[in-house]
Structure 1
Amino acid sequence: MDMNTTQPPSTSPSGSLRDVFWPRPGYVATPILMGINILVFVGMVLTGVNIMSPTGQDLVNWGANYTPLTYGGQPWRLLTACFLHIGLIHIVVNMMSLRVLGSQIEPLLGTSRFAVGYVVTGLTGSLVSLWWHDMVVSAGASGAIFGIEGMLVGLLLTNLFDAAARKALLKNSLSVVGINLLIGAGIGADNAAHLGGFLGGLLVGLSYYYVIRAELGWPAPRLLARNAVAFGLSALVVVVLALFVFSRSPL
């Protein structure tokens, strides 16, 4: 029998400017991550990058995931690409998504786990994009945003929620992911990064299971009920995937 435990994520975040950008308990990593993305975009615009349509060279200059450079000794681009956006519409859509998902899921995961999950799934998205495409200039927080949804889905595959809530949330989450993948395919978005982020999120969410279980007072293996172990498992996902992708470098 499933235990009735964690509260389902809230679906109606407050919309005032202060509520969106001001950290508070259970909502710290989300506004900070939004702020970093926005500051990077403002920096691009202030240095002369077109606000609506940056060139490929602009994106590369600011740290986009670019095949020859990422494979050629600049792997840090896998991370910087997660905070870089291709025009005003791109960043507005992504930050709206990050705001909604963050307000719902950060309180469930905890701030440190949410932040680590954003970084890890952003990296898995970048890695899968790099592996999938022959040549790519990729940027955006979308991989990490899909990763946040994937972390929730990973936890929904466990018994942290009662059966009714789990079924409804799982159906809703998978519908959102499917619809966004279809939209991405229609507009030529980097669905490889989206899927990479989502699948990375599934694994990260599962790695958090025993930690959250222990915090709820449930029986859990002592070793697996530690944040350090959960973070280590998350990092291992990135390391293994990176070794696989870079071992198949076309350069």
Structure 2
Amino acid sequence: MSSQHKSTSTGTVAAAVEAFAAGQPVLIHDFDDREGEVDMVYPAGDVDSAAVSRLRNDAGGLICVALGPEVADAFELPFLADEIDHPVAESDHLGYDERSSFSLTVNHRDTYTGITDADRALTISRLGEAAADPEAVDFPREFRAPGHVHLLRASRYGLSDRKGHTEMGVALAHEAGRPPAAVVCEMLDDETGEALQTEDARAYAEKHGIPYVDGKDLIAAFT
């Protein structure tokens, strides 16, 4: 890596950490030979109705909350595939990873249907707040399942084991001094229905003043 490229990459990662620490979104591209997708990522505790609207309209993928393993353990969250007693759970090997990080779907108990921007914002922000001190949270008393917010369990060994948006979001939260809870949502192309091309994601980031970071640079900085 040239010194110029290294400086640019470091600056981009630093900008991402700074934005996340301030409660702002970041765009993270994983790898072209993995999912090949760009996710919009927020610190969960800072998500409000406007953020959910942006995730729906500007990203367009599935809105999920990635939780660090210590939080998932405290909340007794399983890997969903381990809990499904049905033939569909015996699926073929994933094309991009060894296992899915999906856990339960939840709503906060103070929501109504759970799907509105305000309801999802409440569920997500309370998950972010709960992740700051998970042992002090009575998870079943505050949340119910099934719901409209998908939970993801980050690998117990972090980026050294799995290099997905789940782990990158949690690692970014750690580096930014935030609780280990990050919203991740894939950016899709309205015209093709496919994953948004990286050049289009970069253009969106530049237009809206959002840091864009490549997974390889983030991993190099954090591991």
TM-score, normalising length: structure 1: 0.23
Structure with the larger strand share: 2
Larger radius of gyration: 1
Higher helix share goes to which structure?
1
State the structure with bigger RCO (CA 8 A, min sep 6), 1 or 2.
2
